[in-house]
Structure 1
Amino acid sequence: GHALKSLKIIICFKMAYKPGIVETIYFNKFRAYLWRKMGCHVGKGVCIGHSVSTDIGNTDLIHIEDHVIITNCSIILCHRRDMKNYRKYDNSYELPYIHNPVTLKRGCQIGMGAIVMPGVTIGEGAIIGARSVVTKDIPAWTIAAGAPCKVIKEISEREDVNE
């Protein structure tokens, strides 16, 4: 049971990460299908670029709503070490893990090489700049960038052109 499930996840991840010669213009949408097969919750119209890493052991904690774009070389993490009781001379290898879900709301975009940390929600329509490290929630309809990622601009509503 568990071994077969793990093998399925690993095979899907390998195919989605770097498909090699079978890469086509449509493969970024096929990756969304593979991520569903790994256990991620993936909506419609999602595009996932090549070399995007996901938290293989915690795929069920990843929630991606419709029309999200995750560009090449990004990383989505759902676990990290719990550092709150880490002290001088402790063995960091023995620290426990914290597992938290990641939610990417409808229509958000993750820039190339960005890292999304556990427990983060990226709001609807938000855009994350390339190489950003997202450690906290990002509000809807904002542009955020940096390490750590911070909101740099709010996206305004389109003015009615018919007036």
Structure 2
Amino acid sequence: MKTELQKCLDGEIFNTSDEEIQKIIHNARKLAKDYNSTISTDSGKRRKILTELFGNIGNNVNIDTPFYCDYGRHISVGNNVIININCTFVDCNKIEIGNNVLIASNVQIYTATHSTDVNERLVDNWDSDSRLPYFRTFALPIKIENNVWIGGGVIILPGVTIGENSVIGAGSVVTKSIPANSVAVGNPCKVIRKIDNN
């Protein structure tokens, strides 16, 4: 029988109020708070917190504060990555970030989602004493491949992959995967041209 955490990672409906999941979330919130309280020059302390918070973190990674996440441990970051101020990663499922990635300020990455059908979204027979959440939730992984630049204020939705070398224009809402070597902009985000990196 699957745990609620395994259901979550498998993209199935899961109970966000599950005790194991809540413990992970509260730990991540504490570590994020600790991280956001550090001074930018204390690289040793910042690195130590991020190593405890994330599932994996490469070399030469700079994450400006404030930074917010949900589980922390589902975030994997490669080498030579900059994540600018005020970014939010809702990492119920995995968020994989490759090498040489630039993520501008106010970027939001959401793996969690809900059904558009209200009957599927609402929990049956919910009451205030229940350990069940109000709404049914599932989560899909997000992958940002190597050499990607994500512009300011971009929102990336569940299940999206952004292909290597691509650029996502500021303010875009990425609802579908973007192929490699693309410049993509807008809401919904669409490819406007290919990049010839030769």
| CA positional deviation for 1:157 | 3.1
Match of 1:102 in 2: 142
User: Mind listing any 5+ residue stretches in structure 1 that lack a counterpart?
Assistant: 159-163
| CA positional deviation for 1:148 | 0.5
Residue 139 of structure 1 aligns to a residue whose secondary structure is coil
| CA positional deviation for 1:35 | 5.6
Q: Distance in 2 between matches of 1:67 and 1:15?
A: 26
Verify the 8 A CA contact 1:143 1:152 in the aligned structure 2: yes
Q: Once structures 1 and 2 are overlaid, which stretch shifts more, 65-74 or 92-101?
A: 92-101
| CA positional deviation for 1:98 | 2.7
Residue 143 of structure 1 aligns to a residue whose secondary structure is strand
Q: Distance in 2 between matches of 1:23 and 1:114?
A: 24
- What's the TM-score once normalised by structure 2's chain length? 0.64
In terms of fraction of residues, the more helix-rich structure is: 1
- What's the TM-score once normalised by structure 1's chain length? 0.77
- Compared CA separation, residues 78 and 157, structure 1 to 2 (3 A): same
Match of 2:30 in 1: 11
Q: Considering only aligned residues, what root-mean-square deviation do their CA atoms show, in Å?
A: 2.9
Match of 2:101 in 1: 68
| Matched residue type, 2:84 | G
| CA positional deviation for 1:7 | 3.0
User: Mind listing any 5+ residue stretches in structure 2 that lack a counterpart?
Assistant: 1-18, 56-71, 124-134
Residue 22 of structure 1 aligns to a residue whose secondary structure is coil
Verify the 8 A CA contact 2:120 2:136 in the aligned structure 1: no
Match of 1:147 in 2: 187
Give me the identity figure in percent: 29
